[in-house]
């Protein structure tokens, strides 16, 4: 049991055996009443603090989960953008190779004719 509760019980036991109209008794009674109010207020404040701490822990946990989720979403979005860029560059490279191959085919016969002329002219 709490010390205050035991003190109150002792006080009330003493009251039954003493004069309730004495000023000292009335002061002590008021003191006990105020002490009870302070005790109740302290308990209420402790509960409020405990609830606030629990809520703060919950907010931090939620914030961390949200941050993790947002970071993952952002990294997936960036990765998808990079993959699109890679695919685009690859397609451009393939197209450039094809264009160069066609350009080579056009000039290959002209180069062969030129080479034949140079060799036969000597």
The structural domains of the chain, with segments of one domain joined by +, span 3-121
The dihedral over CA atoms of 87, 92, 97, 100, expressed in degrees to the nearest 10, equals: 180
Residue 18 DSSP class:
S
Which of 7-16, 89-98, 104-113 has the highest average model confidence (pLDDT)? 89-98
Q: How far is CA 54 from CA 43, 48, 50, 93, in A?
A: 16, 10, 6, 58
Structure tokens at 49: 């603090």
Query: Average pLDDT over the chain, rounded to whole?
Result: 86
Task: Provide the whole-model pTM.
Answer: 0.49
Number of Cβ atoms within 10 Å of the Cβ of 28:
15
Which residue is associated with the tokens 């036969």? 120
The set of residues, in sequence order, having a beta carbon less than 8 Å from that of 18 and lying 6+ positions away, is 25
Query: pLDDT tens digits for 8-25?
Result: 767 666 655 566 677 777
Among candidate residues 12, 10, 2, 1, the one with its CA nearest the CA of residue 38: 2
């Amino acid at each position: 049991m709490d010390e205050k509760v035991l003190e109150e019980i002792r006080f009330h036991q003493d009251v039954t055996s003493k004069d309730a109209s004495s000023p000292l008794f009335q002061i002590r009674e008021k003191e006990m009443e105020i002490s009870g109010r302070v005790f109740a207020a302290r308990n209420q404040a402790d509960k409020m603090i405990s609830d606030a701490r629990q809520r703060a822990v919950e907010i931090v946990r939620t914030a961390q989960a949200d941050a993790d989720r947002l970071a993952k979403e952002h990294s997936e979005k960036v990765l998808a953008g990079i993959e699109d860029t890679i695919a685009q560059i690859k397609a451009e490279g393939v197209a450039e190779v094809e264009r160069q191959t066609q350009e080579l085919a056009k000039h290959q016969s002209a180069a062969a004719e030129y080479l034949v002329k140079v060799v036969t002219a000597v």
